[in-house]
Amino acid sequence: VTLEILLMWATLTFFVVATAMFVFGVIFTKERLTRRAVLVTAAGLVPQLIAIGVRWARVGHGPYIGYYEVANALTLFVVVFFVIAAWRNARLSAAGIGIMPVAVLLLGGAMLAPKAGLPLTGSLASYWLFIHVAFANLAFAAFAASFGLAIVYVLRERSKTGAWAKRLAKLPSQESVDNLTSRFVLAGFLFWGIMIASGAIWANEAWGRYWSWDPIETWSLVVWLVYAVYLHLRFTMRWRGEKLAWYALLAMPLALFCLLGIPIVFHSLHGGYIGGAEG
Amino acid sequence: VIRRALRKAVAALTSAGLALGLLVFLTAWSAVATLVAQGDPASQEVAAWAAAHPAIEPVVAAIGFHQAFSSWLFMACAVLLGVSTALCAWKRTRSAMARSRALARARQLDAGSLAVEHDLEVALDPAMTAAEAVTTASRVLADLGVRTKRRGELLTAVSAPWTAWGSAVFHWSLVALILLVLGGNLFRSDGLMGIPVGQTLADTPVAYGLLHAGPLFNRDGVHRSFRVDAFDPDYTTGGIDRGPSPTVSVLDAAGNAVVTQRVYPNAPLKLGSLTIHAAAYGLATYFSLENTAGAVSGRSLQLVDFSQTASGGTVPVGALQISDSAGRVLVSCAITVPLQGPARNYVQSLPSNPKVRVVAVSPQGGLTVDKLVKVGETVSLPSGDVLKLDQVGYYARLSIVDDATIPFIYAGLVIAMIGLGISTLSRQQAVAATVVEGPDGSSLAVYIRLWRNAATSRAEIAAGLETALRPVKEKSDS
């Protein structure tokens, strides 16, 4: 346990340092610092992956159960998504200023949560768990990426030709950032949809009901509909720019609340996965 | 007039504004509904919520918010959204047909047809050969995210025609899912049945403790029964505690077991459209009633549920009533089984030496008997009868669902996700280019159709190609 926790603190330290480097790199327009921040972020993934592996071997299941494990897995997916995007297109590195604070807050919250390993219960013991959780993580990572890009879009748009416009000048054009934001939303919408569909099939196998309007089911549908509205505004109503960026900014916290907040706030059939109250 | 009205109705139903309005309304309604106790207005939970929120309860009750997802307003909006989605799917189908035809046609483009049909013509630097121009154009397009194939001096990047169908398939699947869910409820039977270990109950409405059957569900054609063969209160397999697990058999009309299976979470018993889950479990107590002459005049089975909040850890399921020959109730008995362990942390299993508590109440409500009995012991009732505890064991409460639409719902979900995946991840584009000779020299003829998920725009392609290919003189002029 000690090794695992030490590795997780090391990960958090890497991510905090990377976040500071992104902030300084962008504010003082030090492009090299921003590029190195991506490397520091990637380096932080090494102890995190080892810690998850150690824990997996110890508790006998992946990072699925309990606030600590769920927040840890969400952070992993968010950071991996961002590192891949920045590696494929170095000009996106500066978006770390919007994405890495999310990762740091998530992991910080995880480190403060109880870390005792919870056993896999009978209702969770299914291959659907892997599919359902993997797509929840992928969806959140995509929404977090759209959130980070929306932040830089709004910062640049508000600044116009001011300081932030210069600081974020290395990023792709506003039009490209706008397009990328909506493409990440599209990807997140698909992954979230698969999460809901796999969850419905799994619920029917586990409990005999594919949909029971449980608070988590309802809120996962709410989040999906919120992003469906975004996509209709974007592709049908032809909305562009700052209004839509604000929408992406405000939608992501809903997804986070659905994954981590609802099981704590509401009595839910699904409460067990986060250590909350089961209905 | 009718045609015009119809056209207006269709235009309204296909409008993005209506779809968005319905989406926003259903989203807000669903989110707010999670803050309000859901269930029958007479239920304990709803009553407690109403007592805690007296100021808003009248409004909540008036709009049917305690049954938010079956209220007329929610259902009306869901149906309207379904109709809007169907019309939208139809529009998308027409668009997909046109695009897939265009993509199929674009795959047939060759140098000859491109010379006639193109959207953009970029004059080439006279010093550049046709092969060099095509190589440069390929590089420019690749930089813009358009990866081309080269056949001689022809460049093509044309998506497969099926990529045009993603959005239409997704929207039609949503329509199918809405219809399946609504239609499925009409044909579905969903109930809870408590069966003691070793007992068999026929699949009849009276055997269910709770039953929701759709108006079109045909129970007359059902001739089967269910038996609980065994019960393991703590079944473990694969190193995982599966919890209380009954072994269940489904019997045909002749009483032959068609299938027998241990049932636990993620391992339901399935037989055709029938699915059986173990929803809960409790204790079953068996009594015989002896008259004053010592002869057995009747037998009774009483189910007992676990409850951490109840005194002793169990609550009776119904009451054991003793009536006279005229049917008048002489005495009503509440049966519980005190559990081991401290209050609110009772061990929810059959005690090692179970004692059953019998509390008998007269029709006037007066307490007449309160006694703990072991198996084989008796309780004398004020009616003169004697209750004898014969046996205590487990019972399993089975969730029995008969719904033939479930495989279709699964298929609908999978097809919807495939459609959404195609719509989200695949590009719909047709870009082709070749060098053509004209009276003013050579130029690059470019055919461009960019629809969904294109990496670039027509303007970017034009600007990129002109910068890379235009004559040197013009370059220096600029």
Query: Looking at residues A104-129, what average pLDDT do you find?
Result: 90
Share of chain B above pLDDT 90, in %: 72
Task: Supply the pLDDT for residue A272.
Answer: 65
Of B24, B265, B410, the CB nearest to A206: B265
Number of CB pairs, chain A paired with chain B, less than 8 A apart: 109
CB-CB neighbors (< 8 A) of B265 in chain A: 121-123, 125, 206-207
More confident: B384 or A201: A201
Q: Cα–Cα–Cα angle for A204, A205, A211, nearest 5°? A: 15
pLDDT at A229 over 70: yes
CB contacts of A221 in chain B (<8 Å) are 30
Give residue B174's identity as a one-letter amino acid code.
L
B359: contact with A, CB 8 A cutoff: no
Q: 3-state class of B372 per DSSP?
A: strand
Q: What is the rounded distance in angstroms from the CA atom of residue B10 to the CA atom of residue B28?
A: 26
Look at residue B478 and tell me whether its pLDDT is greater than 60.
no
Please tell me the predicted confidence (pLDDT) of residue B200: 97
Smallest CA–CA distance, residue A191 to chain B, in Å, is 9
3-state secondary structure of A268: strand
Using a CB-CB distance cutoff of 8 angstroms, which residues of chain A are in contact with residue B421? 190
Cα–Cα distances in Å, from B2 out to B7, B9, B11, B86, B318? 8, 10, 14, 21, 60
CB atoms A190 and B417 under 8 Å: yes
**Residue A119 pLDDT class (50, 70, 90 cuts):** confident
| Per-residue pLDDT tens over the stretch B87-120 | 999 999 999 999 999 999 999 999 999 989 999 9
Nearest to B128 by CA among B374, B415, B435: B435
pLDDT in tens, A76-111: 999 999 999 999 888 888 889 999 999 999 999 999
Task: Using pLDDT thresholds of 50, 70 and 90, give the confidence band for residue A11.
Answer: very high
The per-residue pLDDT for range A142-174, each reduced to its tens digit, is: 999 999 999 989 988 888 777 788 788 777 788
Q: State pTM to two decimals.
A: 0.88
Tell me which residue in B16, B406, B414 faces A236 most closely, judged by beta carbons: B16
Helix axes A215-235, A242-256, angle to 10 degrees: 170
A7 exposure class (CB count in 10 Å sphere: 0-12, 13-18, 19+): buried
pLDDT number for residue A271: 64
Q: What is the pLDDT of residues B219-239, one digit of tens each?
A: 888 899 999 999 999 999 988
Q: Does A117 touch chain B (CB under 8 A)?
A: no
Q: How confident is the model at residue A278 (pLDDT cuts 50, 70, 90)?
A: very low
Residues of A in contact with B268 (CB under 8 A): 205, 208
Does residue A176 belong to the interface with chain B, where contact is any CB pair within 8 Å? no
What's the mean pLDDT when you consider all of chain B? 91
Q: Is the CB of residue A260 less than 8 Å from the CB of residue A270? A: no
The residue assigned the tokens 């009776």 is B316
What is the per-residue pLDDT for A279? Answer: 36
Which residues does chain B have within 8 Å of residue A200's beta carbon, measured at their own beta carbons?
A: 409, 413
